[in-house]
Amino acid sequence: MIDGVSSTPKSHSKSRPRVTVKAPLSPRGRGSVAVAAEPDRLLSLFAQNMRLVRKAQDLSQEALADICDLDRTYISGIERRLRNVSIRNIQRIADALAVDARILLDPELATNPRYQSDQNR
């Protein structure tokens, strides 16, 4: 100590007791248990509805991609449920298909005769 000043730095953080919450492990103990497929429900619904509307308008994935200025592989990835779509791109796709974005998230669209393919009739 020199002139009342300590030469060792003091920590300004207060020590708090750590509270740990353990997530349940998977059956093989390799990580936390994944939430049921519920989070993918909207993704699957969007993919299915986008494909129904696109085919009803007789558009290829490439044509839709050109209209909404997205890559063809991105459109394909959405329809195969591999891509997570942003709100901005949902709007671009809806505008390109000339439908309200809510239509692409409508769970009853598949039962609408307007969007049923010849295979489903």
Which residues, 6 or more positions from 78, have their beta carbon under 8 angstroms from its beta carbon?
46, 47, 50, 85, 93
Whether 85 maps to a domain, the answer reads: yes
On the 0-12 / 13-18 / 19+ scale of CB atoms within 10 A, 47 is: buried
Residue 118 lies in a domain: no
Query: What's the structural domain count of the chain?
Result: 1
Residue at 82 is within a domain:
yes
- 49: domain CATH number is 1.10.260.40
Domain that holds residue 81: 38-110
Instruction: Per residue of the chain (121 residues), give pLDDT as tens.
Output: 555 555 555 555 566 667 666 666 666 767 666 555 566 889 999 999 999 999 999 999 999 999 999 999 999 999 999 999 999 999 999 999 999 999 999 999 988 888 876 554 4
Please choose, from the candidates 63, 55, 50, 120, the residue with its C-alpha nearest in 3D space to the C-alpha of residue 91: 50
